Amino acid sequence: MKRYECLEAMLPFVAEDDLVVTNLGRVRDEWHAVRPSEGNYNVFVLGLCSSVGLGLALALPHRRVIVLDSDGSLLINLPTLTTIADQNPANLVHIVFDNQAYESAGGGRTHTAGRADLAMIARGAGFENAFAAESLEDFRATAQRALEGTGLFFVAARVEIGSAPVPSNPYDAMETTYRFMRHLEQLEGTSLLSLAPPAYALPAHLGWGRH
Amino acid sequence: MNDTATETIKDALVEVGVDLVATLPEGNFQPLIEKIEAEPTITWVPLAREEEGVGICAGAYMGGMKPALLIMNSGFLDSTNALTTLNLLAGIPVLLLIGYSGGVSEFLWMHSQVGAATEPVLRALGLVYERAEKLSEVAAQVRDCQALATITKRPVALLLNKECLR
């Protein structure tokens, strides 16, 4: 099964307002091709997309947050599985595309090519809903269950090495942050990127606080 | 850490609107962590490793919260890649409250090297930081650091030494 096929298979179950946090690597380009949206956020440090997803899920409990992670990324930040399970946010779906390799870094094997089992690790970390998907039909059914249900879900999808010939996502980290936060401002009807200094930081003699 | 110190710092966090605190225990911090856990306006996220806390705070910030990360300086050193490649690369602020092991008033020899490395590494990352040495000044320093983090969209650190926490 190919990762791109999985992304296409899960798309019908992703709502327009769902927030999607991607790992670095080609998954961000593939997801951007499948669902171009300002509600996609790309993390550029290996391992932390799941933690960023948890922070978002805690801040916006009424929004669905979907994390598109990888085996190498999850393995470098394994402790966060216990933290996510400890918080147990009902609006977080953590999907890991496991190609058993550090593909972007030359293709060397990860430990899932050997004896490590990510779904079992997630279960051990405290995820009540943790599943492994070996086939596309399997993945589609599991993604549907996770994305149409409520509760914290973990899905590890065994995929081939390789990526679809899609264009590169054109946004750097700074731009993806601004676009994503402007999108959230619209979605939530709130101001997140105000340039106004906090009232408590204003020197009293300037009198700015009175305006 | 006595009740006055924990109340002062917790109240300062609440006053500047901090509403999510991710923590990893340090001997001196435990009473403060308990205060944070009990504070109804703060979402408490106990961590398994400090670096994940950088990511959690980043997500919480983008979602509209005002997060802080309460960790020991060893955990700060562990978090430097996250602070550079997440916060600094993407323009994401965070208030770092860092226990200054190996700093002034340290009493354990094994913290000497992590203490010596802390400020040089903060400077190497280009992070603005303050040293909290007196409890009477901590509330204002929390306010100043949080304000600077907010307006610069960068991490700002407050180093809490053991004397200050007594």
**CA-based diameter of chain B, in Å?**
41
Contact B40, B67 (CB under 8 A): no
Ordered per-residue pLDDT tens for chain A, 211 residues = 999 999 999 999 999 999 999 999 899 999 999 999 999 999 999 999 999 999 999 999 999 999 999 999 999 999 999 999 999 999 999 999 999 999 988 899 999 999 999 999 999 999 999 999 999 999 999 999 999 999 999 999 999 999 999 999 889 999 999 999 999 999 999 999 988 888 888 887 877 655 4
Sequence-distant (≥ 6) Cβ neighbours of residue A115 within 8 angstroms: none
A29 lies in which domain range? 3-210
When CB atoms are compared, the residue of A50, A178, A197 closest to B151 is: A197
What is the 3-state secondary structure of A25-79?
CCHHHHHHHHCCCCCEEECCCCCCHHHHHHHHHHHCCCCCEEEEEEHHHHHHCCH
Three-state DSSP class for residue A168: coil
How many distinct helices (H) and strands (E) make up chain B? 9, 6
- Look at residue A126 and give its three-state secondary structure: coil
Pair A71, A96: CB distance under 8 Å: yes
Whether residue B97 lies within 8 A of chain A, CB to CB, comes out as: no
The pLDDT of B119-132, averaged and rounded, is 98
Alpha carbon distance B53, B59 (integer Å): 10
* Residue B45 to residue A190, Cβ atoms within 8 A: no
Q: In chain A, what residues touch B18 (CB-CB under 8 Å)?
A: none
CATH of the domain at A53: 3.40.50.970
Rounded Cα gap, residues A29 and A42, in angstroms: 9
Residue B42 near chain A (CB below 8 Å)? no
Please judge whether B62 and A41 are an interchain contact, meaning their C-beta atoms are less than 8 angstroms apart: yes
What length does chain B have?
166
Phi, psi of A165 (to 5 degrees): -80, 70
Cβ within 8 Å of B, A 14-33: 21
Contact assignment for B85 to A178 by CB distance below 8 Å: no
Tally Cβ neighbours within 10 Å of residue B112: 13
Question: What is the structure's pLDDT at A29?
Answer: 97
Residue spans of beta strands (DSSP E) within chain A: 19-22, 40-42, 65-70, 92-98, 101-102, 108-109, 129-133, 153-158
Decide: pTM greater than 0.90: yes
A residues 137-176 closer than 8 Å to B (CB): 172-174, 176
- How large is the ipTM? 0.97
| pLDDT on residue A208 | 67
Provide the number of structural domains found in chain A. 1
**CA A18 from centre of chain:** 11
What's the rounded Cα separation, in Å, for the pair B69 and B21? 6
Contacts of A141 (CB under 8 A, 6+ apart): none
The pLDDT of residue A211 is 46
Which of A176, A188, A197 lies closest to B147 in CB terms?
Answer: A197
Fold of the domain spanning B3-165: Rossmann fold (3.40.50)
Per domain, the residue ranges of chain B are 3-165
Q: Is the dihedral of CA A80, A81, A83, A84 positive or negative?
A: positive
Residue A87 touches partner B, C-beta closer than 8 Å: yes
Q: Which of A111, A49, A39, A40 is nearest to A81 (CA)?
A: A49
